[in-house]
Amino acid sequence: MIKFTLLAALLGAAGCASFPQDSTQEVGASNAANGVVTAPKKRSSVSSVAGQTTADDQGDQLLDTHLHADLWGRVRAGYAMPVLDSPLVARQEKWFVNNPEYLDSMVGRAKLYLYYIVEEVEKRGMPMEIALLPAIESGYKPQAYSRARAAGLWQFIPSTGRIYGLEMNWWYDGRNDVMASTGAALDYLEKLHTQFNDWQLALAAYNCGERKIERLIQENQRKGLPTDYSSLKKLPKETKNYVPKLMAMANIIADPAKYGLQIAAIPNTEYFARVVTDGQIDLGVVAKLTDMPVNELFMINPGYQRWITDPKGPHALLVPADKKDALIEGLANLADEERVQWARHQVRRGDTISRVAGHYNVTVESIRTANSMDSNHLTTGQNLLIPVSANKLNALPPATIVKAANANVRHENNDGERVKILHRVRSGESLWSIARKYKVYVHQLREWNLLEEDDSLRLGQRLFIWTTHGSGTSASNSFRNPG
């Protein structure tokens, strides 16, 4: 995860299981001698020192990509990182072997994104183990969000994301965008490899920060010690297990049968295609044009946080490759007024623009832009157009607003019914304590209540919170990053 302090979130894919943490614990018997699997011959075709192919090798490798019906075969053929001879690798392998449900879930999600990632890694001549890194970072969950505010397949924190060109605003988060975040992550990894001239050190820096790795290298140099990854004894615990975790995953993908596992095949063909939409478009509209569930469409377009594209762009969407022509034809025949699904709100006495924005979970600016307003002033009886996704409105049952004097209120709704809680802030409460009480994330509280990161809570302040009675629900994209 790209961050300088790792705070693990819940692991949705692996249930109650957790990754091994104690690096000093004795490793039990492993299916692989010495904790590694002998690399396929193709692995040596790429330099493990520089991590780059020669022109001849790269040409051979590109020709070979079409020989694999299963994408995993293409991944194995591109292995290029040196084998890591460490008992920590065997320990991570053992965890994966003991938690096959995690692997099954991960592979199910990877089929949407892995072909694109493999293509991009291959174009750059990078070791194909890099294409497996999202398995460790997010379990191939593009909406994964950690308590350290890292997001997406590659787990960028906001500051690093901006450095590498990922735009983040109310409408769109490039960290969740499959194509944008992959490009940014590979740019960052290439930069780290150039800096350290070693892929294992580059990956360690990706996890805990390049300055930390620089300091540890300098410390070893002063002591006359080696400066390779395995020789940096003061690595943070998470980082110490990070590279072994990736190598364990690579070893299992290299030879699943050796571990008594089966890895579902993924076709070596593109899953999605990019279509320029020439303007703002609602995902619900695109779903109808392509005759597909809007949830499936959102899974490959998770950067659009409002289920609608940013009015300022990017004006493009990903659709399954076999839906590309249908979308292009549908957009050509779509009237401008049909591109976005709107809600109409008639201003009532006492309404303010901020209150209306909060009701529809949109920003004041989006209402002003949609209605060509020069100020925040509203007039009773005025009609406002609110750009929202019809799918999201239909997905939420009518809100039961429960006025709560404090956080201990009990709501008497049927199990599974979504309710909108009105919480008044009490003395000593923070967003973190409120989020914990209602089993939601802090970033959700901010989003639901249009709070900026530097906003502080006021005594008596009202917060709206969506929750589900009896479900024990936390964030739907919860994921405990392996560590």
383-387 vs 342-346, strand pairing mode:
antiparallel
Q: What angle do CA 384, 386, 388 make, to 5 degrees?
A: 165
Average pLDDT, the chain: 79
Q: Which residues of 211-229 are buried (b: 16+ CB within 10 A; e: fewer)?
A: ebbeebbeebeeeeeebeb
Asked whether the predicted pLDDT for residue 207 surpasses 90, the reply is: yes
Residue 365's pLDDT is: 81
Residue 454's pLDDT is: 63
Q: Identify the CATH class of 401-468.
A: alpha beta
pLDDT tens for residues 154-196? 999 999 999 999 999 878 999 999 999 999 999 999 999 999 9
Residue 446's pLDDT is: 79
Residue 48's pLDDT is: 30
Asked whether the predicted pLDDT for residue 278 surpasses 70, the reply is: yes
Instruction: For residues 171 and 151, give the distance between their C-alpha atoms in angstroms, rounded to a whole number.
Output: 15
Residue range 342-391 in CATH 3.40.50.980: no
Q: What angle do CA 81, 87, 93 make, to 5 degrees?
A: 70
Most confident range, picked from 60-74, 184-198, 403-417: 184-198
Instruction: For residues 184 and 463, give the distance between their C-alpha atoms in angstroms, rounded to a whole number.
Output: 35
Q: Per-residue confidence at 411, pLDDT binned at 50, 70, 90?
A: very low
- Listed by start position, the domains of the chain span 37-259, 274-336, 342-391, 401-468
Given 3.30.390.30, 1.10.3720.10, 3.40.190.10, 1.10.530.10, which CATH number is that of 37-259?
A: 1.10.530.10
Which residue in 137, 167, 238, 429 is the catalytic one?
Answer: 137
Asked whether the predicted pLDDT for residue 92 surpasses 50, the reply is: yes
Provide the phi-psi class of 152: left if phi over 0, else alpha when psi is between -120 and 50, else beta: left
Mean pLDDT confidence for 251-261: 97
Q: Per-residue confidence at 459, pLDDT binned at 50, 70, 90?
A: confident
Residue 95's pLDDT is: 95
Q: Which residues of 417-435 are buried (b: 16+ CB within 10 A; e: fewer)?
A: ebbbbebebbeebebeebb
Asked whether the predicted pLDDT for residue 441 surpasses 80, the reply is: no
| pLDDT over 90, % of the chain | 52
pTM of the model: 0.68
- Let me know if 137 is a catalytic residue: yes
Domains 37-259 and 401-468 share a fold: no
Asked whether the predicted pLDDT for residue 343 surpasses 60, the reply is: yes
